[in-house]
């Protein structure tokens, strides 16, 4: 079961400069409210052997996530953690500390609702607050998951164009029998593909192997599945 790390430890890890060699990548994994969140444990396990991983889940995503499937040492943050330790000016603000900590953020699954929020600049939960505060010199990957008719809806195209302008990289959904029974495009890419896409991207960067001072040039790409 995921543990809850004290926020002052997160703050300490952000303020400590490591200059004695390369460290593991810091990957922030996030899940929004889609049935595909049942695969979130698998996704977290894919990344955990290679990177330092922390996770964020929306309230809707928690309906589908089996916490027992998560790596035992994984820290899973939810909306209830956002202000739980804040009482005065100067205290840790979780969405800011997570934004500082991460080298890369991966939202998988990305629901139609959360896509719309990001495109509109809304920040009404922990996940979207991280996005609104994000340093876009650092990469974000998103793997949408939704019904085929939601995927082909004109609003989705508009929203994808907006997030593309932010430099967010799309890992497209695939075609298969969906949870609702329909067949078509909208299923989240497999966790193994999401992992390999992110890892290949990071290892192709000039500063791969030394993540102490990140300066990613995040040119948005559309990775076919």
Rounded Cα distance between 148 and 187, Å, is 8
**47: in domain:** yes
**8: in domain:** no
Rounded Cα distance between 165 and 77, Å, is 28
CA distances for 148 relative to 35, 104, 109, angstroms: 14, 28, 15
What is the per-residue DSSP string for 76-88? EE-GGGTTTT--S
List of the chain residues with pLDDT < 50: 1-4, 6, 212-220, 223-225
**93: in domain:** yes
By C-alpha distance, which of 115, 132, 114 is closest to 123?
132
180 is catalytic: yes
Q: From start to end of 78-156, where are the E strands? A: 104-110, 140-144
By C-alpha distance, which of 123, 131, 71, 83 is closest to 107?
131
What are 204's two structure tokens?
A: 């192709």
**137: in domain:** yes
**7: in domain:** no
Which is catalytic among the residues 81, 95, 159, 216? 95
**16: in domain:** no
Q: What domain count does the chain have?
A: 1
**125: in domain:** yes
Residue 104: which domain range?
24-203
Query: Domain holding 66: CATH number?
Result: 3.40.50.1950
**9: in domain:** no
The model's pTM is 0.87
């Amino acid at each position: 079961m995921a543990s809850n790390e004290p926020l002052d430890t997160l703050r300490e890890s952000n303020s400590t400069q490591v200059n004695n060699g390369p460290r593991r990548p810091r990957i922030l994994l996030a899940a929004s409210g889609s049935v595909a969140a049942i695969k979130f444990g698998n996704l977290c396990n894919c990344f955990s052997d290679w990177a330092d991983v922390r996770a964020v889940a929306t309230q809707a995503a928690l309906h589908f996530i089996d916490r027992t499937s998560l790596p035992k040492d994984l820290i899973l943050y939810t909306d209830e953690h956002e202000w739980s330790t804040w009482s005065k000016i100067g205290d840790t603000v979780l969405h800011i500390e997570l934004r500082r900590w991460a080298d890369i953020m991966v939202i998988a699954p990305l629901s139609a609702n959360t896509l719309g929020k990001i495109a509109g600049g809304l920040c009404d939960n922990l996940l979207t607050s991280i996005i609104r505060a994000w340093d876009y010199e650092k990469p974000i990957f998103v793997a949408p998951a939704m019904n085929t008719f939601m995927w082909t809806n004109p609003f989705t195209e508009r929203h994808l164009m907006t997030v593309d302008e932010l430099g967010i990289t799309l890992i497209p959904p695939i075609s298969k029998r969906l949870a609702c029974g329909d067949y078509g495009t909208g299923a989240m890419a497999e966790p193994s593909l999401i992992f390999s896409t992110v890892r290949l991207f990071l290892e192709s960067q000039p500063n791969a192997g030394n993540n102490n001072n990140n300066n990613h040039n995040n040119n948005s790409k559309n990775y076919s599945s």
